[in-house]
Structure 1
């Protein structure tokens, strides 16, 4: 078998190399610069440390600074998940989601500090009329009732974003509650311009209006307008629904000129099926087959209302999409050889990557972990692709050895995770490594790969979590 018979048309094997420059590099600097600009504005308008000379001035000045920083981080949160295509391609959706969460908690505590500092300042001004002062600062001052309601909404969103709370919520419920953050930000917006001392200067107001306007514009464009246009233009409809394993179905959707989206294997879309009540709640599903000019295929494991409904879809059902998103693609490769490691339903992007990624026979290895044979997905398809393209397949069935291990229980338990991985793939240090599965399992694989000699920049992951 010659190289020309196994490489997809128009694709080339990547040369060996190191980390490449991406737009993520300047984007991170711009995010930090926005916070620096806020502190600079506070210093120019309030005098910086000179505003902390008395307790009363210090409370008000620090209250203003924490409020400004909270506002800046809230805007940054919105921009991070505005689905801006070049931001998604540079950072990756799972990394953006994690940083969105960290920034959200930082913004939350700055907002709480802002509220507390101004409440103490007002109470300290008139101790005998403390209740009236608090009513004024939270309710009767211009736009403060809106700000209070917005703060309550944002607190609700943050509380339901705590990991322990998310475990008790369905994805659909959590997603609906999370949308209230937009209402919370909008409600806190007016008081900033009517009551904030930093907004009295024209050029300062222009700066902040520009930030808020940019966040609003990109959200409207990339989260509403672009997905709506793509759904109308590509006219996707369900073509078939196939049961792959107990509780697992594959859905093939057919559409018009899907190649114009430049979708890559390993990416995912937010899917909405117009099959009745509940259609508006989108769910993220990864492609499980290489995208073609007129078809996309996803494979879904029943885990909530949306995924359970998918098994009952009928051919002809209209489909709305957002995407494509994700960076678990061949575009990340720097090495000619590949190692793909999947657990459970995490096999879906790996199956697509194996189908159309550029590699020669013997250059790709797949390790597939699953608990029981009946839960294994695509084993026949994987064997067919392996026979056609010269892939080494390693199936590892059985229950997981331990919560901190990536291995299945068995004779290999005498060896540590890194040693076993190095035995299975001796040249792991010279491969790009793609990993997909549950978050804790991905962490175990990443640690084992690093222990076996892999460079961290060669490890590419996509977490099936929210």
Structure 2
């Protein structure tokens, strides 16, 4: 199945909403007629209100749907990271549409100052049982608009607010959608409901409201959550070194494909004196965070209790992960939701695979390499396939600050040396940076799989869009 790029999905959704508006839009006459009546301006303002309103509620409904983390959306969009990327841009688009909607509403003042009220259309009829709710719907819509702008601004300006308070504020988004849904339902023209546009609006309002209520009820990802515990935890070096966490999961865990990730919530220890107390110094109030699974299915076997094991490699890149390093201990309970993602190195026949990892971006490749180890115990029949179809020789590049002290490099070298099909490894360290031009030496079309900092990913993206037949796969997952 061909992946739908995020921009294409966003543009197609916006086009659908625009076409729905066009289907019920009458023609607009001269902006100002010979008698100086600005009926055209008033009609233009009214249609701008309708169009921006359709855009705003349509994009908000899309954000509500995407926030549910539905697995069936991963395949067409190319992974849960792309689902979240579309969710973010739909939210930004909804905020911009809401600003335009507010601007169209406020434009009545200068139209009235320039040409007076002559030519202003009469109020259109709405659903009879909501006629008396016009004023309430307008007030609720205006307050929801202000709150929506504030939440989107805090999402974009991530440094203004720590993750924990942002997370709780973001949970108000479903409430804002329900307020805006009532605003739209009460003010949508009655004539629309008997046309295809009305059916689309009804579907958007119903779907978005159901998603919002499900989210408020705590249903997001609930069916894909699995209990577990920390089986073992080990720092892979000194200060600021990655933390290896071995998780033991319940038998309900369905297995995973190499390269996938999961949302992991580490619970506070039940015993006192283990750093599990609540407060600014502990990480237990953060909720679930996404971590790449750094082991292939069944590569670690099972615990003495028969629990399937998997590995996480967590680098202290932020406040949460730094605190996690200080407080996480063996035996703690955890909840793991997933697996998600399609970073599985499944390329096409006739295309050369190139893997590029930088920093902690090595974690999905560790799992992909484990899946290529000879003699590895075979996964159960119901588990997903591990080695990609049509797998061939892979050229891998690993970018690290200091190869001599990198705690993951020895393991990486061993896995590459033993991999079947083969994986050649080139390490870029100590000032020897990888440049996109360095990949020109590989002949033919390339499938490039990249995980690492955004700057290098953007440089690869710019180069891949050139004349060479390159396809770049990169995870762009972000919690906000």
- Give TM-score scaled by structure 2 length: 0.74
The question of 1:354 aligning with 2:377 is answered no
Any unmatched runs of 5+ in structure 2? 32-38, 118-132, 269-275, 279-283, 303-307, 373-386
Q: 2-side partners of 1:145 and 1:361: how far apart?
A: 59
Counterpart secondary structure, 1:143? helix
Q: 2-side partners of 1:361 and 1:98: how far apart?
A: 29
Q: 2-side partners of 1:23 and 1:442: how far apart?
A: 19
Q: Kindly report which structure 2 residues correspond to 1:39-188, keeping only aligned pairs within 5 A, or say none.
A: 39-49=18-28, 53-91=39-77, 92-121=79-108, 141-162=135-156, 165-188=157-180
The question of 1:209 aligning with 2:207 is answered no
CA contact (8 A) 1:238 1:252 kept: yes
Q: 2-side partners of 1:168 and 1:285: how far apart?
A: 24
Q: Kindly report which structure 2 residues correspond to 1:25-40, keeping only aligned pairs within 5 A, or say none.
A: 35-40=14-19
Name the structure 2 match of 1:235: 227
CA contact (8 A) 2:232 2:330 kept: yes
Q: 1-side partners of 2:30 and 2:313: how far apart?
A: 59
Q: 2-side partners of 1:182 and 1:97: how far apart?
A: 16
Name the structure 2 match of 1:22: 2
Deviation, structure 1 residue 169: 4.3
Name the structure 2 match of 1:421: 439
* Bigger share in helix: 1
Counterpart secondary structure, 1:319? strand
Deviation, structure 1 residue 388: 2.1
CA contact (8 A) 1:343 1:370 kept: yes
Mean Cα deviation higher: 215-224 or 80-89:
215-224
Deviation, structure 1 residue 339: 2.0
CA contact (8 A) 2:448 2:470 kept: no
Cα deviations by residue, 1:127-166 (Å, 9 ceiling, x for unpaired) = 9xx9xxxxxxxx992223321221111111222233xx22
Counterpart secondary structure, 1:212? helix
- Give TM-score scaled by structure 1 length: 0.76
Name the structure 1 match of 2:424: 392
1:42 to 1:317, Cα distance in 2 relative to 1, 3 A: same
The question of 1:304 aligning with 2:315 is answered no
CA contact (8 A) 2:141 2:179 kept: yes
1:67 to 1:48, Cα distance in 2 relative to 1, 3 A: farther
Any unmatched runs of 5+ in structure 1? 1-20, 131-138, 408-416
Cα deviations by residue, 1:240-295 (Å, 9 ceiling, x for unpaired) = 111123322011111123652x5211111121111154445221111111133812
Name the structure 2 match of 1:10: none
Tell me the C-alpha RMSD between the 2 structures. Answer: 3.6
Name the structure 2 match of 1:253: 247
1:279 to 1:89, Cα distance in 2 relative to 1, 3 A: farther
1:221 to 1:192, Cα distance in 2 relative to 1, 3 A: closer
Deviation, structure 1 residue 369: 0.8
Deviation, structure 1 residue 450: 6.5
